[in-house]
Amino acid sequence: MMSYHLQSLARCVLLVLLVSYCQGARQGQDLKCGACRAMVDEMEWAISQVDPKKMIQTGSFRINPDGSQSIRDVPFARSEGNLLELMEEVCERMKDYGERVDPTTSRKTYERVTSRNGKSMDLSEAKLDSRVTSSLKYACETIVEQHEDEVIEFFAHETDNVKDKLCSKRTDLCDHALQIPHDEL
């Protein structure tokens, strides 16, 4: 009789551990997904702030045998040099984000809580604390480091739906991106 109770207790403990492990894994994925989506928002906003007429010359300054050079003008905002510079700073902006928990699914999303233009924002359901922002910043830094080539590729070519294409399809950081609302800049 005693061994039956011990087995039942062991099963309950195992079940609780399994549920908490799955919940922790999902929360980790929510954080990575949120960091990726916030990073994309911040990169798109920073790119939009650069004068679209500003150009930079790229290519080789060597003279070809026919006397020509392989130089071309590209928009500065989407040049590799500018994108690399933006990527160095983008994760610092995670301090402007808060965490929101969906009451029905318990999934976490991250949204900007500091306005870029001074307008007031609805912060009633957002959790603001240093643990959230430091975790988001660390996740962002990890994504930028691990996926630098993909980030540059997507932003250099003005791809539509970068959030879904980069964060879901290319990197698999978001498994539920189709359920996340798409916001505007």
pLDDT at 16: 37
Cα separation, 44 vs 75, in Å, equals: 14
| pLDDT, position 39 | 97
Nearest to 37 by CA among 104, 128, 124, 136: 136
Say yes or no to pLDDT of 25 above 50.
no
pLDDT band at 60 (very low <50, low <70, confident <90, very high): confident
pTM of the model: 0.74
Average pLDDT of the chain is: 80
- What is the rounded average pLDDT of the residues 92-100? 92
CB atoms within 10 A of CB 110: 27
Q: What residues contact 48, with CB distance under 8 A and at least 6 apart?
A: 77, 185
